[in-house]
Amino acid sequence: MFLTAELITKKRDGKKLSEEEIRFLVSEYTGGSIPDYQMAAFLMAAFIRGLDRRETTFLTRAMLESGRVFDLSSLPAPKIDKHSTGGVGDKVSLVLAPWVASCGVAVPMISGRGLGHTGGTLDKLSAIPGFRTDFSIEQFTEILRGNNFFMAGQTVEIAPADKKIYALRDVTGTVPSIPLITASILSKKLAGGAEAILFDVKVGRGAFMRTPKEAKELAFWLCAVARQFKVKAEAVLTRMDEPLGRFVGNILEVKEALEFLSGRFEADLYHVTEYLAVRMLGLAGIEEKEARRLLSARLLDGSARQHFRELVRLQGGFVGAVENPGLFARAEYQIPVRAPQAGWVWSLDAREVGLLAIELGAGRKTVQDKIDYTVGFEFLKKTGAQVEKEETVAFVHSNSTVTGREVAMELGQLYDIRREKKKAPGLIIKS
């Protein structure tokens, strides 16, 4: 038995915690014996003083073992998962999972909700009426067996400690910590029972890792700690300086994912998603040329979209909206954003876009906040595009004209437009 205050003090003073001490903190907090304010103090101490690789492995194991772990050994297909470290407009998982699943690879995907200025896959899925991410492990396993993928959240069975700590980090300024990010991601991903994990580590203004150096460090930690659990791991660094794809906002991003699966997509979203899909198939033993052929065929013949439709059906969602996206709810107002001058778009700060999305109601400021799934942004022009003065460069989707107009003015100011031509940067930084 330990005293929580002493463990907080120990970490505050830069000392290392044992596996037993970390396990105590996690289990007692999950069970309700340690209050939020003490765990918040510990998280801040860990954020400032850091956790070493061994402490991070201990924290990962404690959060993983706070719940149950999938046993997928009876499934013959290769079991490969993917995780993004968080971005703005990052609806890749919604496309990638069914696309890879349609190629014969099992994708047991456990995801999280929005964190800080970034969106979350679970929030996007929750925008589908009736969609559930809280089935039992046995039920999820049957979904995987029948459709080659599931998309789950941290239920009471799956890494419940991380679910509770994740929400606290989001509102206490302790998000961008490599050890805490590593333990959070892996406690969920390892619970899913995958044999291999591909990490999409975002880097840039809209990512938690702002520089390639930071992103490489996180990629190294994720892979190194994952391998301590006998899981094969690889990482890809992708750029997150501006929103990915055309839309930001939960329903808007689900609809964009459905367009992609129907063969209509933005070039940047396709480039990143296909690259990651090829790498996932590579982890399953499929060589690159064959992987690209398979992916192209499954997109063209509708198999990828059918897998997504079947997932929605199996997880209780409204299939009619998948078949006819016009049935999704939509925001009452679409407010145009005008270019302040003619020229070329040089940048569109993804982090600031994410923060504006929260102001609009697409994300949370506090744990208790309710999300408005209908609101968000549509971008007609991004980096590298030529614009005329007063041309519409974006739309704000809002249910309040006052808030919508205020956000539209701020969004317009985020556009850095110059006279000189700008080429859009490459999205894959390192593989």
Q: Indicate which residue of 10, 79, 83, 381 is catalytic.
A: 83
Q: What is the pLDDT of residue 372?
A: 94
pLDDT by residue for the chain (431 residues), tens only, comes to: 899 999 999 999 999 999 999 999 999 999 999 999 999 999 999 999 999 999 999 999 999 999 999 999 999 999 999 999 889 999 999 999 999 999 999 999 988 776 667 778 889 999 999 999 889 999 999 999 999 999 988 778 888 999 899 889 978 989 889 999 999 999 989 999 999 999 999 999 998 888 999 999 999 999 999 999 999 999 999 999 999 999 999 999 999 999 999 999 999 999 999 999 999 999 999 999 999 999 999 999 999 999 999 999 999 999 999 999 999 999 999 999 999 999 999 999 999 999 999 999 988 777 677 899 999 999 999 999 999 999 999 999 999 999 999 999 999 999 999 999 988 889 998 65
d(CA 341, CA 419): 9
Bridge partners of 108, per DSSP, are 150
Q: Indicate which residue of 188, 246, 307, 381 is catalytic.
A: 188
d(CA 243, CA 229): 34
With residue 331 as reference, give the H or E element that holds it. Answer: none
pTM of the model: 0.90
Report how far apart, in Å, the C-alpha atoms of 347 and of each of 70, 204, 256, 379, 382 are.
Answer: 43, 12, 22, 13, 7
Question: Going from the N-terminus, what domains does the chain have, and what CATH number goes with each?
Answer: 4-50 (1.20.970.10), 80-325 (3.40.1030.10), 329-418 (3.90.1170.30)
Q: What is the pLDDT of residue 117?
A: 72
Q: What is the pLDDT of residue 19?
A: 98
Q: Is 169 a catalytic residue?
A: yes
d(CA 217, CA 225): 12
Q: What is the pLDDT of residue 391?
A: 97
Q: Is 397 helix (H, G, I), strand (E, B) or coil?
A: strand
Q: What is the pLDDT of residue 222?
A: 97
Q: What is the pLDDT of residue 85?
A: 87
Q: Is 126 a catalytic residue?
A: no
Q: Indicate which residue of 93, 184, 187, 398 is catalytic.
A: 184
Q: What is the pLDDT of residue 431?
A: 53
What are 162's two structure tokens?
């991380």
Q: Is 123 a catalytic residue?
A: no
d(CA 340, CA 174): 36
What are 104's two structure tokens?
């014969």
300-307 own/partner pairs: CB under 8 Å, 24+ apart: 300/263, 303/102, 304/95, 304/98, 304/99, 304/101, 304/102, 304/261, 305/98, 305/258, 305/261, 305/262, 306/102, 307/98, 307/99, 307/101, 307/102, 307/147, 307/148, 307/149
Q: Is 369 a catalytic residue?
A: no
Q: Is 79 a catalytic residue?
A: no
Contacts of 173 (CB under 8 A, 6+ apart): 44, 47
Q: Indicate which residue of 81, 162, 268, 372 is catalytic.
A: 162
Q: Indicate which residue of 169, 255, 305, 351 is catalytic.
A: 169
pLDDT tens for residues 244-291? 999 999 999 999 999 999 999 999 999 999 999 999 999 999 999 999
Asked if 382 and 345 count as a contact pair (C-beta separation under 8 A), the reply is yes
d(CA 257, CA 239): 19
d(CA 280, CA 52): 29
